[in-house]
Each structure stands twice: as C-alpha cells, then as structure tokens.
Amino acid sequence: MAVLFDFSHLPILETERLRLRAITHADAQALIDLFAHPDVQQYIILEPPCGTLDEAVAFIDWMSGHFLNRAAARWAITLKGGDDRLIGTIGFHFWSREHRRVDIGYDLNRAYWGRGYVTEATHTLVRWCFDNLDLHRVQADCTAGNLASERVLEKVGFTHEGTWRESIFEHGRFVDIKQYGLLRREYLGKR
C-alpha cells in the first residue's frame, strides 16, 4: 500500500487545462464572487456564509481547520497559464479511514460553466484520492435537479445509487438528494 496522505501540505494537482492549489486569504474576494451568483447558490447551502470579506476569510479558516484536523482538503481551481485567480473549488471531506471512503464536492464561477473544467478537475481529484488515501470508495451527493453536477459525476464514472427523499431543507423547501458512488474496482476497470 502506498504511504497515506499525511496532511503536511496540500499538493498542487495539474490537469490538462487547470492547476489546483491551496486556498489562501488572498482568494477571499474571488470566493465572494463565486458564491454571489444565484445559479451557483441554487443547489448549495453555504454554512458558514461567504458574502463579505470577513465571512470569506472565516470561511477559508473553517476549511483550513478541517485540513488541520486531517478530515478534509479543498483546492482552488485556477486556469493553467492564467493569472492564478480562483475560479472554483474542489475537494474531499468526511474521510473515513475505517470504511476507506471520502465524499467529494465542487463549485465553479458561473462565467466558466460548460467548458468541461469541473469534469476534468474531478477526474484528477478522484485519481488522487484513490492513489493517496487508500480508498475503497468515493461518493458524492447532489440535489435532484442539479443536472450539471449529475452529469459531471456520470462522466467521471459514478453510479447513481439511490435518492434520499426530501432529506435536506434547502432554500425554503425540502429537496431530494441523489447519492452517487464509485468503487475502486470500477475506477481501476475504467482507467
């Protein structure tokens, strides 16, 4: 078995068009811009909120806290060869060493949707997680109706395993949550 990720630092991950790097306080305004768009907010609940500079810095510290607790890691999505501006985030959370699984999540500034960026980043993240966290399974969930997110997961090879009916109170209504999973053997078979 490969040496497990030890959280000593967050590695830079590169895809064909993207560079995934650590999120710092300098990304606060880009995070506000990312989450300000109603289309981005539609299927997520931001807790803690990220609407002001103080909140964005607290949000970054909240993510760093999960990293320091060795439970989660979140990367900034930036364009390779660009100005290093954060255009989205991606990462894993709820790492269970016992059950050898993580959940993943992502979001992208509205101006960059539909170019395959998050599919590209998710392929790389999933590969990195299987290679470095000794996982049996990677899972993700999304609000029913979030067709872009469903499509990303399907393109990366996830299977829709079931739906929790009205399990989250999101933006004033109960919504169904679709659960997706990708097993190591399925991932290796598709490599």
149 is an interface residue for ligand COA by CB under 6 A? yes
Output the CA–CA distances (angstroms, integers) from residue 77 to 34, 147, 155, in the order listed: 11, 21, 19
In whole angstroms, give the CA distance from residue 99 to residue 112.
35
Sole window of 2-10, 16-24, 129-137, 146-154 interacting with ligand COA (rule: CB under 6 A): 146-154
172: part of which helix (H) or strand (E)?
A: none
Sole window of 50-58, 143-151, 168-176, 180-188 interacting with ligand COA (rule: CB under 6 A): 143-151
152 is an interface residue for ligand COA by CB under 6 A? yes
Residue 146 identity (one-letter amino acid): N
Tell which one of 95, 106, 180, 187 touches ligand COA (CB under 6 A): 106
For the chain, the straight-line distance linking the first and the last C-alpha, in angstroms and rounded, comes to 19
Nearest to 117 by CA among 159, 125, 36: 125
Sole window of 46-54, 95-103, 114-122, 166-174 interacting with ligand COA (rule: CB under 6 A): 114-122
In whole angstroms, give the CA distance from residue 155 to residue 11.
25
113 is an interface residue for ligand COA by CB under 6 A? yes
Closest CB 74 distance from ligand COA, rounded Å: 13
Closest CB 174 distance from ligand COA, rounded Å: 17
Q: How many CB atoms lie within 10 A of CB 94?
A: 14
Contact residues: ligand COA, CB under 6 A? 40, 43-44, 106-108, 113-119, 142, 146-149, 151-152
